[in-house]
C-alpha cells in the first residue's frame, strides 16, 4: 500500500471547489487570496496555486492585483456541458451494456445500485450537497467504465461546473425523487442488457438536466 500525504494546496483547492459548488463563493464578488489564507490559516502560496487550478477548470477568473471571482454559467456553457456529457457518458453506457455479464460489468452495476441507495438516503435527510455528490458519483461510474483517463478528467471538470448550477435546485424534494427514478430507469435497462433502452433513458435524463440548468441560470440572472 502506498500512503500519500495530501498537500496544503490540494486541501485548499478542495475547500474552494466545494465552496463554489455549495454556493458559499458566488459570482459577481471579488475574493482576495489573503482573505482565504486568513480563513484557512495558511500562507498565500497554496491559495494562489489552488486558484490557478480552479482557473484551469474554468471555475474562476483571476483579476490582476485584485483577487479572483467565481465564473457564472452561461447558456452556451450549459449546452456545451450537455453535449460533452452526451458524448462521454453515452460511450460508457454502450461499453457497459456490451460487457454487463462480465465480472467487471456486474461490479459496475452493483456500484451504480449503491449510488442510487446513497442518493435516496441523502434525499430522505434533505441533504442537497450529499445528494448532488452521490448523483455525480453515479455518472462518474459510467465514465469510469470507459477506462479512458482523458475522458474521466474532462468529465470531472464538467460535473464540477454543473454542480455549481444545480445544487440549489435540489431544495425541491420532488426533483430529487424524479432524478432517482431517472437513474433507476437507466439501471434497469443496463441490467437487462438493453443498449437502445439505456441510451434512450440516459438521453431523456440529460434533456431534463438541460432544462434544470437553464432554469437555474434564469433564476441567477434575476
* Range in 76-85, 86-95, 150-159, 172-181 the model is least confident about: 172-181
- Residues 149-176: what's their mean pLDDT? 78
Question: Residue holding cell 456545451?
Answer: 80
Which of the four pLDDT bands, split at 50, 70 and 90, describes residue 158? confident
Domains of the chain (ranges, CATH numbers): 8-70 (1.10.10.10), 75-221 (1.20.120.530)
88-147 confidence digits (pLDDT tens): 999 999 999 999 999 999 999 999 999 999 999 998 888 877 888 899 999 999 999 999
Contacts of residue 26, defined as CB under 8 A and 6 or more positions apart, other chains included, come to: 70
Supply φ then ψ for residue 29, to 5 degrees: -135, 140
Quote helix, strand, coil % in the chain, to nearest 5: 75, 5, 20
Residues 197 and 219: their CA atoms lie apart, in Å, by 33
35-92 confidence digits (pLDDT tens): 999 999 999 999 999 999 999 888 999 998 889 999 988 889 889 989 999 999 999 9
7-21 confidence digits (pLDDT tens): 999 999 999 998 988
**pTM for the structure as a whole:** 0.80
Beta bridge partners of 67: 63
Residues in the chain: 222
Which of the four pLDDT bands, split at 50, 70 and 90, describes residue 189? very high
Q: Could you tell me which of 157, 110, 160 has the C-alpha nearest to residue 135? A: 160
Question: Residue holding cell 458524448?
Answer: 87
For the CA atoms of 171, 177, 182, 184, what is the dihedral angle to 10 degrees?
A: 130
Cβ atoms 119, 180 nearer than 8 A = yes
According to DSSP H, which parts of 145-194 are helical? 149-166, 173-192
Contacts of residue 31, defined as CB under 8 A and 6 or more positions apart, other chains included, come to: 25, 67, 68, 69
pLDDT at residue 92 in the model: 97
pLDDT at residue 65 in the model: 84
**Is the model's pLDDT at 173 over the cut of 80?**
no
**Is the model's pLDDT at 169 over the cut of 80?**
no
- Give 169 or 57, the one with higher predicted confidence: 57
Q: Could you tell me which of 133, 214, 153, 165 has the C-alpha nearest to residue 59? A: 165
Amino acid at each position: 500500500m502506498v500512503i500519500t500525504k495530501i498537500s496544503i494546496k490540494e486541501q485548499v483547492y478542495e475547500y474552494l471547489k466545494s465552496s463554489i459548488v455549495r454556493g458559499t463563493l458566488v459570482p459577481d464578488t471579488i475574493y482576495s487570496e489573503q482573505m482565504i489564507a486568513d480563513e484557512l490559516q495558511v500562507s498565500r502560496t497554496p491559495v494562489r496555486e489552488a486558484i490557478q487550478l480552479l482557473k484551469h477548470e474554468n471555475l474562476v477568473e483571476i483579476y490582476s492585483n485584485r483577487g479572483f471571482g467565481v465564473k457564472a454559467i452561461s447558456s452556451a456553457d450549459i449546452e456545451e456541458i450537455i453535449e460533452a456529457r452526451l458524448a462521454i457518458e453515452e460511450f460508457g453506457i454502450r461499453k457497459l451494456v456490451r460487457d454487463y455479464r462480465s465480472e467487471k460489468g456486474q461490479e459496475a452495476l452493483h456500484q451504480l445500485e449503491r449510488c442510487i441507495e446513497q442518493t435516496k438516503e441523502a434525499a430522505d435527510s434533505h441533504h442537497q450537497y450529499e445528494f448532488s455528490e452521490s448523483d455525480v458519483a453515479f455518472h462518474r461510474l459510467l465514465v469510469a467504465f470507459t477506462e479512458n483517463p482523458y475522458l474521466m478528467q474532462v468529465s470531472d471538470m464538467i460535473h464540477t461546473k454543473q454542480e455549481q448550477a444545480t445544487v440549489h435546485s435540489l431544495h425541491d424534494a420532488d426533483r430529487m425523487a424524479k432524478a432517482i427514478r431517472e437513474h433507476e430507469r437507466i439501471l434497469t435497462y443496463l441490467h437487462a442488457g438493453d443498449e437502445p433502452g439505456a441510451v434512450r433513458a440516459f438521453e431523456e435524463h440529460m434533456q431534463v438536466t438541460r432544462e434544470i440548468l437553464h432554469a437555474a441560470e434564469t433564476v441567477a440572472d434575476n
